[in-house]
Amino acid sequence: MPVSNSEIIKNRAVVADDWTVLRLSEGDTADSVTIPAGKVILPLAVWQARRTELQGRTPLGVWLNSDAQADAIKDDLEQFEVIGINFPIFTDGRGYSIAFNLRTRYGYAGELRAIGDVLRDQLFYMQRVGFNAFAVRADKNIHDALKGLTDFSEKYQASWDEKTPLFRRVQRQPVTQD
Amino acid sequence: MYRYDQYDHQIVKERVAQYRDQVRRRLSNELAEDEFRILRLQNGLYMQRHAYMLRIAVPYGLLSAPQVRKFAHIARKYDRGYGHFTTRQNIQFNWIKLEESPDILAELATVEMHAIQTSGNCIRNITSDELAGVAADEVIDPRPYAEILREWSTFHPEFAYLPRKFKIAINGSEEDRAATAVHDIGLAMARNPAGDIGFRVMVGGGMGRTPIIGSVIREFLPWQHALTYLEAILRVYNQHGRRDNIYKARIKILVKAIGAEEFARQVEAEWIDIKDGPGTLTVEELQRVAQYFTAPAYETLPATDTGFETRKAEDKAFANWIKRNVKAHKVAGYAAVILSLKKTGVPPGDLTADQLDFVADLSERYSFGEVRVTHEQNLVLADVKQSELFALWQEAKAQGLATPNIGLLTDIICCPGGDFCSLANAKSIPIAQAIAEKFDNIDFQHDIGDIELNISGCINACGHHHIGNIGILGVDKDGAEWYQVSIGGAQGNNTSIGKIIGPSFSAHQMPAVIERLLDVYVKQRTEDERFIDTVQRIGVAPFKEFVYATPILLDQPHGEDACV
């Protein structure tokens, strides 16, 4: 299981992270798990099971696993300062669509953090669909991973970061043939 | 054909730099192999049986002469002197060194080429009709739309880690030459009653382990909505496609599981948010791209050239070649020529570096410097003057590229199989070669007529065996290579999946099995009836009965495999 760094990338810089991501261990249930004090990012199941108890607690974060849908929290967005999306393995691409829908369909404007198996070579795409924070896998160099955000300077298609596709954004002309 | 502008150049240049650094990090162990694997696959680099294989994208099969020359150069400098054209209209090289792969990509970038998304669980190379723009039966030229889809799908941030690979084909003619029904998305261009251009959208076709014909989820999608509608399809698939089982991860399984109607409903629901948004195509964008696909400087010529007609009447070999390898053109006095890469003795789809250079030269002298790749693994010179066909034929013949067998028995579609591919259960090239040798007689082949023989070395169906009139699938039984035969598959407007005729055969039996299938056909056919029509009329049973009726005795016994 990937463990967390004490630092994350946020808004294109490496910063200290004082949030705790709560993950249920074996034997824990959403109903009974002890929720630590302070800034905690809760599993969706815990939020859903203990909504009444947690109502009004600030600051609070929640994280969705890759098999969740953005609409699971669409009515609660104002409750959260951070929404995490978990990548159980970096090849699981569902989190990209969850992020995109949270941003575009439900208008979530707060911190959207990629957690789990988060690696340098996926960061460019992740920021494009709406992530602005990355809890890079702890065994990787987070300063090296930062470079992954700038792999490309142009993109063809629209997404969260770039609202208009290239064909609407610029005047494209053929280059002179050599 | 399409030419890069500064943005295309920039994106491909940055990709080369990104990939070069990924290779550096792999070699220094900053990247583990399982992390790097996914990255190199999205750059077309596979680890195969003997070495790395690099698959280079040929978007919708279109190449310029300098691009073909670059392949020749890559074959000589980085490989063993040849390349292999695939059923996805791409080319692959089989003997690549990891350390050199970034340099190859840098070389490709100089001729506006890349290997982006030729593998991996992302949107693959867009394929299309090799006769696009010239076919006599064309309704709408699909090439501008194919290029628009290429750009949209390139590095799409949301769809780079799909449950499985994703293949899109687009066709704009009356006849479907792009096998659209067996793609994840098949787009058939059409006009609605008002004359507007759009697509019939098919989803969930595919071959592999579970062959399925795609379902139409929208009869008419106006072209302006192509990107947003495809985005909706991909988003539904990305979120709901199965990820627990690699064999059930393609979109066809999802569409089958929930039904095409329900799938279409989910797509429409997903589409509502983005329909008419910024992703909606504009007339200006279509015009920008379409300007690259205007007609070349055709001469005004008579519909038939008398010199050509005379040659055809006098020279039977030339006439045979015209009959099979030359296709109708929409411009008077021109024809489209298919160069056969299926000469007996050569692996289907392979071309040497010298032949690649030759094809580039030929295209410049006879066809405006453009070459197309077909999904049947042949090449096309699309704009040849009738008056020059004879000269072209003689030159092509001298290079072994004029076998008059297009659409015939030895025009075999064949994957690289166990000789190269690490996924294969069995060899496929030697089977193709043994069959080609047995039926090398061109008069016999012309008598048999239109027939499609497809061979895959494994269930992944790179050789499209499911849609071959005769399909051969390599299977592994207790460590030995065996071959399962199906008949009745077809591509085109009446795409169908072949039916397996019975227990599998040894490699040595395969030519005799084909012979028996042909015997049944020849006995049963009515005048002008193609093999596939006979199969559809009389069913599989008569073929099955005859093939298994008596042991197959071989012309040249091969020890214990000599008979059933």
Sequence-ordered strand ranges (E) for B286-378: 326-328, 334-339, 350-352, 370-373
What fold characterizes domain B306-399? Sulfite Reductase Hemoprotein; domain 2 (3.90.480)
Are the beta carbons of A155 and B152 separated by less than 8 Å?
Answer: no
Shortest distance, CA A57 to any CA of chain B (angstroms): 31
Q: State yes or no: pLDDT of B206 exceeds 70.
A: yes
B274-278 mean pLDDT: 96
Give the tokens for residue A33: 């798990």
Residues B444-501 have pLDDT tens digits of 999 999 999 999 999 989 999 999 999 999 999 988 999 999 999 999 999 999 999 9
Helices (H) and strands (E) in chain A, counts: 6, 8
Are the beta carbons of B157 and A119 separated by less than 8 Å?
Answer: no
Q: State yes or no: pLDDT of A138 exceeds 80.
A: yes
Residues 6+ apart with CB under 8 A from B451: B407, B408, B409, B469, B470, B530, B531, B532
Alpha carbon distance B56, B89 (integer Å): 10
Q: Which of A69, A105, A121 lies closest to B239 in CB terms?
A: A69
Mean pLDDT score across all residues of chain B: 95
Residues B159-169 have pLDDT tens digits of 999 999 999 99
Per DSSP bridges, beta strands B326-328 and B62-64 are unpaired
B123-136 mean pLDDT: 96
Q: What is the 3-state secondary structure (H, E, C) of A4-48?
A: CCCEEEECCEEEECCCEECCCCCCCCCCCCCCCCCCEEEEHHHHH
Alpha carbon distance B375, B130 (integer Å): 8
Q: Which of B547, B545, B539 is nearest to B564 (CA)?
A: B547
Shortest distance, CA B5 to any CA of chain A (angstroms): 5
B-chain CB neighbours of A96 within 8 Å are: 157-161, 238
What fold characterizes domain B142-291? Sulfite Reductase Hemoprotein; domain 1 (3.30.413)
Farthest CA pair distance, chain A: 70
Q: Which of B5, B15, B288 lies closest to A175 in CB terms?
A: B5
User: What pLDDT does B355 receive?
Assistant: 98
- The domain limits of chain B are 6-110, 142-291, 306-399, 413-548
Alpha carbon distance B290, B282 (integer Å): 12
- In words, the CATH class of domain B413-548 is alpha beta
B22 touches chain A (CB under 8 A): yes
Which amino acid, residue B165?
K
A-chain CB neighbours of B121 within 8 Å are: 91, 93
A150 touches chain B (CB under 8 A): no
Residues B226-236 have pLDDT tens digits of 999 999 999 99
Looking from the CA of B250 toward its CB, the CA atoms found within 13 Å total 24
A-chain CB neighbours of B162 within 8 Å are: 93
The helix (H) or strand (E) run that includes residue B264 is: helix B260-272
User: What pLDDT does B420 receive?
Assistant: 84
Distances, alpha carbon B183 to alpha carbons A86, B235, B352, B487, in Å: 31, 17, 30, 20
B77-97 mean pLDDT: 95
Alpha carbon distance B259, B267 (integer Å): 12
Confidence of residue B556 (pLDDT cuts 50, 70, 90): low
User: Which of B33, B35, B67, B240 would you mutate first to test chain A, the one with the most A CBs within 10 A?
Assistant: B35
Closest-CA residue of A relative to B158 is A96
Chain B 244-273, residues with CB within 8 Å of chain A CB atoms: 273
ipTM: 0.96
Q: Are B160 and B179 in contact (CB under 8 A)?
A: no
Q: State yes or no: pLDDT of B559 exceeds 50.
A: no
Are the beta carbons of B35 and A175 separated by less than 8 Å?
Answer: no
B-chain CB neighbours of A92 within 8 Å are: 161, 243
A44-70 mean pLDDT: 95
User: What pLDDT does B183 receive?
Assistant: 97
Q: Are A90 and A119 in contact (CB under 8 A)?
A: yes
Which amino acid, residue B323?
K
Q: What is the 3-state secondary structure (H, E, C) of B427-486?
A: CCHHHHHHHHHHCCCHHHHHHHCCCCEEEECCCCCCCCHHHCCEEEEEEEECCEEEEEEE
Alpha carbon distance B440, B371 (integer Å): 27
Q: Are A94 and A66 in contact (CB under 8 A)?
A: yes
Confidence of residue B410 (pLDDT cuts 50, 70, 90): very high
A-B interface: how many C-beta pairs under 8 angstroms?
Answer: 117
Query: What burial letters (b/e) apply to A6-40, b meaning 16+ CB within 10 Å?
Result: ebbbbeeebeebebbbbbeeeeeeeeebeeeeeeb
Shortest distance, CA B110 to any CA of chain A (angstroms): 11
Neighbours of B398 (CB within 10 A): 10
Chain A 28-57, residues with CB within 8 Å of chain B CB atoms: none
Are the beta carbons of A144 and B30 separated by less than 8 Å?
Answer: yes
Shortest distance, CA A95 to any CA of chain B (angstroms): 8
Confidence of residue B558 (pLDDT cuts 50, 70, 90): very low
Are the beta carbons of B161 and A164 separated by less than 8 Å?
Answer: no
Are the beta carbons of B243 and A94 separated by less than 8 Å?
Answer: yes
B286 touches chain A (CB under 8 A): no
Residues B306-337 have pLDDT tens digits of 999 999 999 999 999 999 999 999 999 999 99
Q: Which of B159, B282, B291 lies closest to A167 in CB terms?
A: B282
User: What pLDDT does B563 receive?
Assistant: 38
Q: Which of B431, B366, B374 is nearest to B407 (CA)?
A: B374
Residues A3-32 have pLDDT tens digits of 455 899 999 999 999 999 999 998 899 999
Confidence of residue B419 (pLDDT cuts 50, 70, 90): confident
Farthest CA pair distance, chain B: 68
Residues B369-408 have pLDDT tens digits of 999 999 999 999 999 999 999 999 999 999 999 999 999 9
A163 touches chain B (CB under 8 A): yes
Residues A62-111 have pLDDT tens digits of 999 999 999 999 999 999 999 999 999 999 999 999 999 999 999 999 99
B498-517 mean pLDDT: 96
A41 versus B555: the higher-pLDDT residue is A41
Predicted model pTM: 0.95
Tell me whether domains B6-110 and B306-399 share a fold: yes
A12 touches chain B (CB under 8 A): no
Alpha carbon distance A113, A86 (integer Å): 9
Are the beta carbons of B243 and A105 separated by less than 8 Å?
Answer: no
Sequence-ordered strand ranges (E) for chain A: 7-10, 13-16, 20-21, 40-43, 60-64, 82-87, 111-116, 133-134
What fold characterizes domain B6-110? Sulfite Reductase Hemoprotein; domain 2 (3.90.480)
Q: State yes or no: pLDDT of B561 exceeds 50.
A: no
B242-251 mean pLDDT: 96
Q: Which of B35, B154, B291 lies closest to A119 in CB terms?
A: B35
User: What pLDDT does A174 receive?
Assistant: 75
Q: Are B86 and B428 in contact (CB under 8 A)?
A: no
Q: Which of A91, A105, A174 lies closest to B273 in CB terms?
A: A105
- Residue A82, helix vs strand vs coil: strand
B528 touches chain A (CB under 8 A): no
Are the beta carbons of A119 and B38 separated by less than 8 Å?
Answer: no
Give the tokens for residue B447: 């008598």
A88 touches chain B (CB under 8 A): no
Q: Are B323 and B442 in contact (CB under 8 A)?
A: no
B214-237 mean pLDDT: 98
Q: Which of B38, B151, B235 lies closest to A156 in CB terms?
A: B151
Are the beta carbons of B159 and A93 separated by less than 8 Å?
Answer: yes
Residues 6+ apart with CB under 8 A from B217: B201, B202, B203, B233, B260, B263, B264, B267
Chain B 213-232, residues with CB within 8 Å of chain A CB atoms: 227
CA angle B378, B376, B388 (to 5 degrees): 35
Confidence of residue B555 (pLDDT cuts 50, 70, 90): low
Are the beta carbons of A154 and B278 separated by less than 8 Å?
Answer: no
User: What pLDDT does A3 receive?
Assistant: 47
Residues B36-65 have pLDDT tens digits of 999 999 999 999 888 999 999 999 999 999
Are the beta carbons of B35 and A129 separated by less than 8 Å?
Answer: no
Are the beta carbons of A91 and B6 separated by less than 8 Å?
Answer: no
Q: State yes or no: pLDDT of A176 exceeds 80.
A: no
A171 touches chain B (CB under 8 A): no
Q: State yes or no: pLDDT of B199 exceeds 70.
A: yes
